[in-house]
């Protein structure tokens, strides 16, 4: 009978955990996802790869709600994501039951990261092949928060971050263009970052906006198209201004 | 009719007796290594409950706590009794879980001390992991969940968790049956009936810290006056926004004469020696 207690994730001679690194490869092949934190809003934007004609797109939601004040988007293996999201949802309720208080974003991120780490140090299992972007509002301080976890089990807080396909170019864009924003501006910043690597159009982007008052709201395709149109117009105006300036000089 | 297999119920000692086929422990002395079982012919399931009742401490104590506009007052006596024997007059029944939370002790002293200490550990770990203090709600829930999981195993704890957190003053009653109640006024122990009388009568939400402390002191004193299992000293603590502070610790004997000073009665008859002649 096969023995399932042998570890799969073991060190290489030069100190790497190859299984974890291969999991990161799986993440790099996953769909692009961006998260941006504003002063009163957090936004998650995820690339929607073209849906087959016969598929019911409503059953393929990329952004998951963990609790009334916490949402998660991820890049990588979607089946692994389902398992992780279910465990996180149970932990959110369990915390409410034992301490009579909702979880903080940091707490649930720590839990998810801890879970991902456990699977890099157990026998017979492989690491989760996904990185997550977790957004939410702290129930005590009412401040928005954005965290990222990866297959190795590390986590940290970010002002804005991207993961999945072409995440490097998105992150570069965010580093160049990030500033403190609120409300609609935060949404636009997230969309602009995603449009760097994704075909433009409401059909290819899924966006969720979270505010303290209204909780999590998924934007309709028409709303996304409006934003995209605004952004294109702004871009065109900026190009024109640049050209005009060059002409004068 | 099918013969049921009763072999598991047969004891090694006595022979199964009577028409019930050995279903009940009806043993008559001789073969048993002398041990007296409680008589429970009618209800087999009552055996465990009755045995536990024999060993249970009857919570000989008086503790109370109430919330008012300036925080929480916690007070307790200091007598420990074992049946009719007073084992100690100097027991500390108010346990300091951490600098802003107190717990009271009623029931088994060892149980209360251990589990409060354990709760203090858990609260500290919560603080370190989450970078914020645990709320009174959370702390009382942690304790209640632990006690519920030991339900029926003989723990005897009747405690109140009092503290001040971000939401203000908090007071919860938690016991070893698994109950957890939020409230403004609680008294626990054999003397609680007497303490409630004074406490309920004199309670106002708006009081000064001194008035509230005096009310608690008087309530405990009156409980020690009437209840034999309460006595010793009255300790009164106040929990405010900056944490708890001990207000006073007074011997009830001295308190008695403070409240009811000795009245000098006029001499009615004087004894004189009979005249010798």
Q: What is the pLDDT of residue B270?
A: 78
B51 included as an active-site residue = no
User: How many Cβ atoms from other residues are within 10 Å of residue A149's Cβ?
Assistant: 28
- Contact residues on chain B for A98, CB-CB shorter than 8 A: 138, 141-142, 145
pLDDT confidence tier of residue A198, bands split at 50, 70 and 90 = confident
Give pLDDT tens digits along chain B (277 positions). 567 777 766 665 555 555 555 455 555 544 445 666 666 555 566 666 666 665 555 568 999 999 999 999 999 999 988 878 888 899 999 999 889 999 998 988 889 989 999 999 999 999 999 888 899 999 999 999 999 999 988 888 999 999 999 899 999 999 998 899 999 999 999 999 999 999 999 999 999 999 999 999 999 999 999 999 999 999 999 999 999 999 999 999 999 999 999 888 888 777 877 776 5
C-alpha separations of B215 from A37, B196, B212 in Å: 53, 11, 5
B130 touches chain A (CB under 8 A): yes
CA R_g for chain A: 20
User: How many Cβ atoms from other residues are within 10 Å of residue B240's Cβ?
Assistant: 14
Element (H, E) at A33: strand A33-37
Contact B141 A100 (CB under 8 A): yes
- Enter the ipTM: 0.75
What does the alpha-carbon distance between residue B246 and residue B268 come to, in Å, rounded to a whole number? 47
Q: Which of A151, A170, A163 is nearest to A73 (CA)?
A: A163
Residues constituting chain A: 249
Nearest to A101 among B129, B135, B145 (CB): B135
What does the alpha-carbon distance between residue B232 and residue A81 come to, in Å, rounded to a whole number? 62
Beta-ladder partners of A217: A209
Nearest to B141 among A98, A104, A110 (CB): A98
A5 touches chain B (CB under 8 A): no
Q: What is the pLDDT of residue B267?
A: 81
Q: Which residue of A has its CA nearest to B138?
A: A99
Q: Which residue intervals of chain B are DSSP H helices?
A: 46-55, 109-130, 136-149, 192-202, 209-226, 252-259
Answer for the pair A66, A85: CB distance below 8 angstroms, yes or no. yes
Strands, E assignment, chain B? 63-68, 71-76, 80-82, 85-88, 94-98, 101-104, 158-165, 168-175, 180-182, 185-188, 233-240, 243-251
Average confidence score pLDDT of chain A: 91
Q: Which of B226, B244, B243 is nearest to B235 (CA)?
A: B244
What does the alpha-carbon distance between residue B138 and residue B34 come to, in Å, rounded to a whole number? 49
Return residues 100-119 of A near B (CB < 8 Å): 100-101, 104, 106-107, 110
- Close Cβ partners of B101 (under 8 Å, ≥ 6 residues apart): B123, B136, B139, B161, B162, B163, B239, B244
Taking each helix axis from N to C terminus, what angle separates A184-195 and A221-248, rounded to the nearest 10 degrees?
80
Query: What is the per-residue DSSP string for A97-140?
Result: HHHSSPPPHHHHHHHHHHHHHHTTSSBT-----EEEEEEEE-TT
Q: Which residue of B has its CA nearest to A99?
A: B138
Contact A99 B142 (CB under 8 A): yes
Which of these is catalytic: B61, B62, B63, B159? B61
pLDDT confidence tier of residue A242, bands split at 50, 70 and 90 = confident
A79 touches chain B (CB under 8 A): no
Cα dihedral across residues A159, A163, A166, A168: positive or negative: positive
pLDDT confidence tier of residue A109, bands split at 50, 70 and 90 = very high
C-alpha separations of A156 from A85, A209, B15 in Å: 18, 21, 71
pLDDT confidence tier of residue A37, bands split at 50, 70 and 90 = very high
Distance from CA of B249 to the nearest CA of A (A): 34
Nearest to B138 among A99, A106, A107 (CB): A99
Distance from CA of B165 to the nearest CA of A (A): 12
Q: Which residue has the tokens 């924003």?
A: A181
Q: Which of B197, B162, B155, B202 is nearest to B176 (CA)?
A: B155
Distance from CA of A111 to the nearest CA of B (A): 11
Q: What is the pLDDT of residue B34?
A: 61
Q: Which one of B130, B142, B165 makes the best mutation probe of the A interface by having the most chain A beta carbons within 10 Å?
A: B130
Answer for the pair B236, B75: CB distance below 8 angstroms, yes or no. yes
What does the alpha-carbon distance between residue B250 and residue B213 come to, in Å, rounded to a whole number? 12
Contact A100 B137 (CB under 8 A): yes
User: How many Cβ atoms from other residues are within 10 Å of residue B246's Cβ?
Assistant: 13
B135 touches chain A (CB under 8 A): yes
**pLDDT exceeds cutoff 80 at A245:** no
What does the alpha-carbon distance between residue B103 and residue B225 come to, in Å, rounded to a whole number? 24
Distance from CA of B145 to the nearest CA of A (A): 8
- Contact residues on chain B for A140, CB-CB shorter than 8 A: 132, 166
Q: What is the pLDDT of residue A58?
A: 77
Q: What is the tens place of the pLDDT at every residue in A54-71?
A: 888 778 888 999 999 999
Cα B174–B64–B122 angle (5° rounding)?
40
Answer for the pair B106, B93: CB distance below 8 angstroms, yes or no. yes
Q: What is the pLDDT of residue B29?
A: 42
A246 touches chain B (CB under 8 A): no
Torsion of CA B214, B219, B225, B231, to 10 degrees: -80
Cα dihedral across residues A136, A137, A140, A143: positive or negative: positive
What does the alpha-carbon distance between residue B38 and residue A177 come to, in Å, rounded to a whole number? 81
Q: Which residue has the tokens 């002191």?
A: B217
A40 touches chain B (CB under 8 A): no
Q: Tokens representing A228?
A: 């995209």
Q: Which of B227, B228, B220, B226 is nearest to B255 (CA)?
A: B220
Q: What is the pLDDT of residue B21?
A: 53
Nearest to B130 among A98, A100, A104 (CB): A104
- Contact residues on chain A for B130, CB-CB shorter than 8 A: 104, 106-107
Q: What is the pLDDT of residue B85?
A: 86
* Mean pLDDT of the A21-50 span: 93
* Mean pLDDT of the A10-19 span: 91
Whether the full predicted model's pTM is greater than 0.80, yes or no, is no
- Contact residues on chain A for B166, CB-CB shorter than 8 A: 140
Q: Which long-range contacts (CB under 8 A, 24 or more apart) does B126-130 make?
A: B129/A110, B130/A104, B130/A106, B130/A107
C-alpha separations of A136 from A48, A72, A99, A111 in Å: 22, 9, 19, 15
């Amino acid at each position: 009978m096969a023995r399932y207690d042998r570890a799969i994730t073991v060190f290489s001679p030069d100190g790497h955990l190859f299984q974890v690194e291969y999991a990161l490869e799986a993440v790099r092949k996953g769909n692009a996802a961006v998260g941006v934190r504003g002063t009163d809003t957090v936004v998650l934007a995820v690339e929607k790869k073209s849906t087959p004609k016969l598929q019911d797109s409503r059953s393929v939601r990329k952004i998951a709600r963990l609790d009334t004040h916490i949402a998660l988007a991820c890049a990588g293996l979607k089946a692994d994501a389902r398992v992780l999201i279910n465990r996180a949802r149970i932990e959110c309720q369990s915390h409410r039951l034992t301490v009579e208080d909702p979880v903080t974003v940091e707490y649930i991120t720590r839990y998810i990261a801890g879970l991902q780490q456990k699977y890099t140090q157990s026998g017979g299992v492989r690491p989760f092949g996904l990185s997550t972007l977790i957004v939410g509002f702290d129930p005590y301080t009412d401040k928005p928060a954005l965290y990222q976890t990866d297959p190795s089990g590390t986590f940290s807080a970010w002002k804005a971050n991207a993961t999945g396909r072409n995440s490097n170019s998105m992150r570069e864009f965010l580093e160049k263009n990030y500033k403190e924003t609120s409300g609609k501006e935060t949404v636009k910043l997230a969309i602009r970052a995603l449009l760097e690597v994704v075909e433009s159009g409401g059909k290819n982007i899924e966006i969720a906006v979270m505010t303290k008052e209204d909780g999590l709201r998924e934007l309709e395709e028409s709303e996304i198209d409006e934003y995209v149109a605004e952004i294109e117009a702004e871009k065109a105006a900026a190009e024109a201004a640049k050209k005009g300036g060059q002409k004068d000089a | 009719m099918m013969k049921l297999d009763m072999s598991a119920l047969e004891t090694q000692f006595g022979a199964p007796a009577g028409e019930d086929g050995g279903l009940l422990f009806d043993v008559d002395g001789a073969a048993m290594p002398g041990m007296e079982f409680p008589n429970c012919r009618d209800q087999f399931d009552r055996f465990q409950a009755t045995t536990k009742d024999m060993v249970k401490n009857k919570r000989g104590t008086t503790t109370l706590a109430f919330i008012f506009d300036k925080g929480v007052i916690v007070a307790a006596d200091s007598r420990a009794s074992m049946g009719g024997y007073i084992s100690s007059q100097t027991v500390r029944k108010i346990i300091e879980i951490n600098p802003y939370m107190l717990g009271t002790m009623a029931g088994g002293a060892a149980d209360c001390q251990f589990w409060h200490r354990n709760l203090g550990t858990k609260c500290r770990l919560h603080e370190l992991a989450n970078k914020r203090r645990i709320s009174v709600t959370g702390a009382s829930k942690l304790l209640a969940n632990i006690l519920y999981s030991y339900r029926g195993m003989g723990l005897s704890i009747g405690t109140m968790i009092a503290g001040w957190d971000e939401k203000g003053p908090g007071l919860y009653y938690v016991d070893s049956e698994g109950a957890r109640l939020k409230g403004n006024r609680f008294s626990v122990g054999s003397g609680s009936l007497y303490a409630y009388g004074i406490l309920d009568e004199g309670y106002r939400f708006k009081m000064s810290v001194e008035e509230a402390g005096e009310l608690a002191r008087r309530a405990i004193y009156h409980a020690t006056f009437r209840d034999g299992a309460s006595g010793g000293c009255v300790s009164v603590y106040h929990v405010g926004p900056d944490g708890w502070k001990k207000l006073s610790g007074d011997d009830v004997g001295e308190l008695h004469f403070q409240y009811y000073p000795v009245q000098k009665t006029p001499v009615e008859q004087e004894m004189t020696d009979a005249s010798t002649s």
